[in-house]
Structure 1
Amino acid sequence: MFNRTTNNDDIDMNQDVTALADTLDDLLKSYGSKTKDEVDAARSKAEGILKETRAKLHGRNRVTQAAKDAGDHVDSYVRDKPWHGVGIGTAVGIVIGALLASRR
């Protein structure tokens, strides 16, 4: 029903995942060659980025699911009562047209 387009959220998420992967890569490389303090610092940085990325992903999934549910509900309502959908669309169009006309 809805087309998927690439938006800033997708780009941000890709950047977050890339930053997480880079940090984890640095952490894995640092285990053999750095001091304990440097390893601990890299580990805490990786944990922080992981928590942020999970929070963003979880929040985004909730919003996406809510939008899908709302779209499904609207779709089923309009399929069950097509003339109500036409009436609501007409009313919304008239209200928006009146608001735009009054701004001039």
Structure 2
Amino acid sequence: MDDIKTTNSREQLIADFQVAVADAEALLKATANQGGEQLAQIRDKVEKSLGVVKANMAEAQTAIIAKTREAAKATDEYVHENPWEAIGIGAAVGVAIGWLIGRRAP
């Protein structure tokens, strides 16, 4: 269960970084016509940092995809090796969800 939360947290973190990178790129484009040596140096530094962040995000995204595939493969193998247990677990989860939904209904 913690692996699922960790994966969701990582996915959310990647999504947040992608938004931040897009905003930073938009800011760079908006200030491209602004003059000044100091601003040009800052712009170059930000562009380099964005390149590093993008590369790290791509690596993290690849790792998440690999872990997700591993989890799906492990689940598939478990279900094939233990079909009746999987059916029982699925039924129990369905009953629990149905019970929770039934409690909320007026």
CA distance in 2, matches of 1:54, 1:40: 22
Q: Normalised by the size of structure 2, how large is the TM-score?
A: 0.59
CA distance in 1, matches of 2:82, 2:63: 28
* 1:6 match: none
* 1:67 match: 68
* 2:10 match: none
Residues 3-82 of structure 1: pairs in structure 2 closer than 5 A? 12=18, 19=25, 40-82=41-83
CA distance in 2, matches of 1:76, 1:49: 40
In angstroms, what is the RMSD of aligned CA positions? 2.9
Name the amino acid aligned to 2:87.
V
CA distance in 2, matches of 1:46, 1:93: 50
Name the amino acid aligned to 1:82.
P
Name the amino acid aligned to 1:90.
A
Q: Normalised by the size of structure 1, how large is the TM-score?
A: 0.60
C-alpha deviation, 1:87, in angstroms? 0.8
Aligned residues between the structures: 81
CA distance in 2, matches of 1:75, 1:38: 54
Extract unaligned runs of 5+ from structure 1: 1-8, 27-33
